[in-house]
Amino acid sequence: MSEQINIRFYEELNDFLPQEQRKTDFRHELKQSRSIKDLIESIGVPHTEIDLIIVNGESVDFNYLVHDSDHISVYPVFESLDISPLNHCQSKPLRNTCFVLDTHLGRLAAYLRMLGFDTLYRNDYDDPELARISVDEHRILLTCDRQLLMRKQITHGYFVRSRQPQQQLLEVLLRFDLFNNQRPFTRCMDCNGKIRAVDKQSIENLLPPDAKKYYNEFFQCEMCNKIYWKGSHYQKMKKMIERVNEC
C-alpha cells in the first residue's frame, strides 16, 4: 500500500517540523492504515499540542483513520477564535504560558522553570527591555514594580504581591490557572533551557564522585549542559511541588 495525504500544520506546531515543511502544505506517504494521532506524531508533532484537526473540511478527533488523498490541517489551541462547535482534541487547552520576570524575582523564575514554564529572567534587564520582551514575545510580565506595569505598551502583566518566593509561585499558578499545565523538571532552573535524559556513559567524567556512585539516571540541559540527577535537591523540590499543589 502506498498512498499519499496532504497535510499542513499551523502556528507554533511548525516548531516541531523541519524547515521545508513549515507553514506549507506537504505530501506525506501513508505506508499503513493508521489513526490521525499516530500519523501526526510520526511526523514529529506531539498530540498534546493540538486542539483542532480538519480533514477535507470537517473536524475530526484523534481516532480518525486516515485515507488516501486526505487533505489535513492541524491547529494548536486557539487563543480567541471561538471554535466551540468544532471537535476539540484537548478537553483543556494546553497553550503554553510564558513569562518574563523583573530583576527582583530570581527565585520565582527558578521555581517557574522547575515547573516547566518558559521563563526569561536576567538580573540586568532594565525596564524598557522587560517591556519590549513582554510585548514582542507575548510573554506575561511578572513584576514587583507597579510603575512598570503602567507602561502603555504592556498588555499582559501581573503585579506579584508576596515577597516570599514559594508564595509568589502559588500566586502565579492561581492567577493564571496553571495547575494543570505543569511539567515539572523539564526545564533548566539556571538558564530556562530544555532538559533531556542522557546516558550515564556520555557524561560520566563530568559527575561528582557521589553522583557517579549512587545514581544511574541523568538529565542534561540542552542549552547550558548542566547535569541533573534525582539527588537530595530533587527530593526537596519534589516536596515543595507537592506542597504548592495541595494549596
Q: What's the closest the beta carbon of residue 234 comes to Zn ion, in angstroms?
A: 15
Q: What's the closest the beta carbon of residue 111 comes to Zn ion, in angstroms?
A: 15
Q: What's the closest the beta carbon of residue 196 comes to Zn ion, in angstroms?
A: 11
Our CB check for Zn ion shows the closer of 17 and 223 to be 223
Sheet with 195-198: strands ordered across: 195-198, 218-221, 227-229
Residue ranges binding Zn ion (CB under 5 A): 188, 190-191, 193, 221, 223-224, 226
Query: At how many degrees (to 10) do helices 165-175 and 106-114 cross?
Result: 60
CA dihedral 177, 179, 185, 186 (to 10 degrees): -50
Our CB check for Zn ion shows the closer of 154 and 198 to be 198
Our CB check for Zn ion shows the closer of 200 and 226 to be 226
Q: What's the closest the beta carbon of residue 226 comes to Zn ion, in angstroms?
A: 5
Q: What's the closest the beta carbon of residue 155 comes to Zn ion, in angstroms?
A: 29
Residue 167 parent element (H or E): helix 165-175
CA distance 189 to 75: 30
User: For residue 88, what are the contacts with CB-CB under 8 A and spacing of at least 6?
Assistant: 51, 52
Our CB check for Zn ion shows the closer of 33 and 123 to be 123
Our CB check for Zn ion shows the closer of 74 and 188 to be 188
**Block residue for cell numbers 534525582:** 230
Reduce the DSSP state of residue 146 to 3 states and report it: helix
